[in-house]
Amino acid sequence: MNLILKLIAAAVGTAVAVWLVPGISITASDNMDVAVTLLVVAAIIGVVNAVVKPFAQVVGFCLIILTLGLFLLVINALMLMLASWLAEMLGIGFHVDGFLSALIGSVIISIVSALVGGVLGVDRNKARG
């Protein structure tokens, strides 16, 4: 159940980023296709963050320390661009135009996903146990 709530929170964050950032777009024919595309993109972002992001953080460890953590924003933007590329390779209508759009979009997705996850009670069971 927790995984589904995280997926929904990430999909809502992605929807807000698509709505606010001009360089991030979804191409779908109707509202149902948009919802499915957002869920699939959220799953792709989750897999990219689980598989690739730890390696990027290890490689960029010195830059993360040197910039007091600000380089993590760059890593998040690169992960969103990678998710966009993977979505395009899979034929999913999600596109990020450039690095600046990815940077702004990754910040928006992170903030909105955290807020929605808090409202939905993601990880609430871990706090009890």
Please name the residues in contact with 42: beta carbons below 8 A apart, sequence gap of 6 or more: 7, 8, 10, 11, 13, 14
99 assigned to some structural domain: yes
Residue 129 belongs to a domain: no
54 found inside a domain: yes
CB 24 within 8 A of CB 18: yes
Residue 11: which domain range? 2-124
Residue 20 maps to a domain? yes
**What pLDDT shows up at residue 1?**
78
Residue 93 lies in a domain: yes
Instruction: Tell whether 90 is covered by a domain.
Output: yes
Domain count, the chain: 1
**pTM (two decimals):** 0.90
Q: What is the pLDDT of residue 128?
A: 55
In-domain check, residue 16 = yes
pLDDT tens series, the chain, 129 aa:
788 999 999 999 999 999 999 999 999 889 999 999 999 999 999 999 999 999 999 999 999 999 999 999 999 999 999 999 999 999 999 999 999 999 999 999 999 999 999 898 877 666 555
> Is there a domain that residue 68 lies in?
yes
